[in-house]
């Protein structure tokens, strides 16, 4: 009998040592690749922050976006205070309004300056703090002669404050505005609340315009590419005609026409409310779909020659179902990326239109209207321009970073493992 030349393996040696990667669905694989892109994750976090800022922020902010407090107008986010008594601190605004504050920077009351009395020659004026019965509680004298005295120009003193015979020339401390975190505007409205509300308005316009353009552009472009021939030629020539006019110029002309017609008052205002919100949405959705239509048409032209489309036609699937069930889902990657990029483009367009006076009207606000108002007084109150401008820049960067990451994650040709 021949000796057995085979050595039998034990059970541990029979195990497959090859490392097999867990099977992932398409969207799980997209999320896996998206997480590897740090800028896209930062963009996603930024988008979430902007959404929470515009929604939850308005719920927890104690000030209304349209509530005016003219006693505290044009108060910046931080300011210098004078200590004129043991427990009395004051702040003199750029408009020479004297405000009573506490040591932490909370605004308490405004000194009466409606009828300033004093000597116009010496430029010494009186500010009175009144109680509810209009009785004088405190009297503060401010000497403005320092600001016009050339001999004291090197001292960098614009005025001096006198209280109970004591003169105060130097500030006590610089504090943050605890009552209005980002300051107030020209009529005393909380800037933080208005920026929150304006961000919500800008996002509403952008999302509504993007979603409507998504459906219009996708359906228009997919049917043009699917049917081809004369149908495609006619449909795309319409797109070419719209595209021949600069989109921004077309939107401006359309908004002017709508505002001068009764369509806004009788149709748009009952739906979107007064203030021009409906006008700008209609203007944006009327032209922004052409880019999406061109993209989807190109995708459908390449996809309709695939075997699964021929198989669907063979078994009698209708053209509408072929487009909606097979072609559009397979072109969803570029569509999502384009839609993500459309949102910051719509935000910028809305901001530009509001900046030139064609957007949202008072008392509503958008980021564009806030930027426009801040630009008029930027040399004196720069924060009223910088705050909404920063929010616009942050929003656009966040959506662009997210869109770039989605483009790489949704394209299987860019897959690296």
The predicted-structure confidence for 327-369, as pLDDT tens digits, reads as follows 888 888 888 888 888 888 888 888 888 887 777 777 788 888 8
Q: What order of strands is seen across the sheet that includes strand 173-176?
A: 107-110, 98-101, 88-92, 78-85, 173-176
pLDDT of residue 118: 59
Q: What angle do CA 117, 120, 123 make, to 5 degrees?
A: 90
pLDDT of residue 353: 81
Question: Which band of pLDDT confidence, cut at 50, 70 and 90, is reported for residue 385?
Answer: very high
Kindly report the average pLDDT of the chain as a whole number: 82
Whether the Cβ atoms of residue 370 and residue 195 lie closer than 8 Å to each other: yes
Strands (E), 10-157: 78-85, 88-92, 98-101, 107-110, 118-119, 124-130, 136-143
pLDDT of residue 18: 55
Bridge partners for 280 per DSSP: none
Q: Please list, in sequence order, all residues whose beta carbon lies within 8 angstroms of the beta carbon of residue 95, skipping any fewer than 6 positions away.
A: 73, 74
pLDDT of residue 50: 93
3-state secondary structure of 82: strand
When mean pLDDT is compared across 173-177, 199-203, 358-362, the lowest value belongs to 358-362
pLDDT of residue 286: 81
Which of the 8 DSSP states describes residue 122?
T
Q: Residue 255 above 90 pLDDT? A: no
Over residues 261-316, the pLDDT tens digits come to: 776 766 777 777 666 777 788 888 888 888 889 889 988 888 888 888 889 888 88
Q: Residue 136 above 70 pLDDT? A: yes
Over residues 33-68, the pLDDT tens digits come to: 888 888 999 999 999 999 999 999 888 888 888 888
């Amino acid at each position: 009998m021949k000796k057995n030349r085979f050595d039998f393996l034990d059970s541990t040696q029979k195990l497959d040592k090859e490392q097999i990667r867990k099977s992932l669905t398409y969207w799980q694989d997209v999320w896996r690749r998206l997480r590897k892109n740090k800028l896209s994750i930062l963009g996603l976090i930024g988008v979430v922050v902007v959404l929470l800022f515009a929604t939850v922020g308005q719920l927890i902010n104690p000030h209304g976006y349209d509530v005016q407090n003219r006693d505290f107008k044009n108060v910046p986010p931080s300011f210098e205070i004078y200590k004129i008594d043991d427990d009395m601190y004051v702040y003199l605004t750029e408009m020479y309004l004297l405000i009573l504050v506490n040591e932490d920077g909370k605004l308490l009351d405004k000194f009466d300056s409606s009828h300033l009395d004093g000597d116009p020659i010496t430029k010494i004026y009186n500010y009175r703090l009144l109680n509810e019965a209009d009785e004088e509680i405190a009297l503060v004298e401010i000497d403005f002669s320092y600001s016009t005295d050339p001999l004291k120009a090197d001292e960098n003193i614009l005025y001096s404050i006198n209280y109970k015979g004591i003169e105060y020339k130097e500030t006590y401390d610089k504090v943050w505005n605890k009552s209005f975190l980002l300051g107030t505007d020209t009529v005393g409205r909380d800037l933080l609340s208005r920026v929150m509300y304006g961000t919500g308005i800008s996002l509403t316009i952008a999302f509504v315009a993007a979603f409507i353009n998504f459906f219009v552009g996708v359906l228009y472009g997919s049917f043009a590419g699917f049917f081809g021939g004369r149908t495609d030629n006619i449909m795309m020539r319409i797109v070419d005609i719209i595209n021949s006019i600069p989109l921004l110029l077309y939107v401006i002309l359309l908004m002017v026409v709508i505002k001068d017609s009764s369509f806004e008052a009788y149709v748009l205002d009952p739906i979107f409310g007064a203030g021009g919100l409906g006008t700008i949405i209609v203007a944006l959705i009327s032209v922004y779909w052409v880019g999406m239509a061109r993209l989807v048409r190109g995708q459908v032209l390449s996809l309709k020659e695939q075997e699964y489309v021929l198989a669907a036609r063979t078994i009698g699937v209708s053209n509408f179902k072929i487009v909606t069930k097979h072609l559009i889902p397979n072109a969803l990657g570029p569509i999502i990326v384009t839609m993500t990029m459309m949102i910051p483009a719509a935000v910028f367009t809305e901001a530009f239109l509001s900046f030139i006076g064609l957007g949202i009207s008072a008392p509503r606000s958008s980021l564009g209207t806030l930027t426009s108002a801040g630009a008029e007084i930027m040399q004196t109150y720069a924060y009223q321009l910088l705050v909404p401008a920063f929010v616009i820049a942050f929003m656009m960067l966040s959506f662009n970073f997210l869109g770039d990451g989605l483009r790489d994650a949704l394209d299987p040709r860019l897959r690296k493992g």
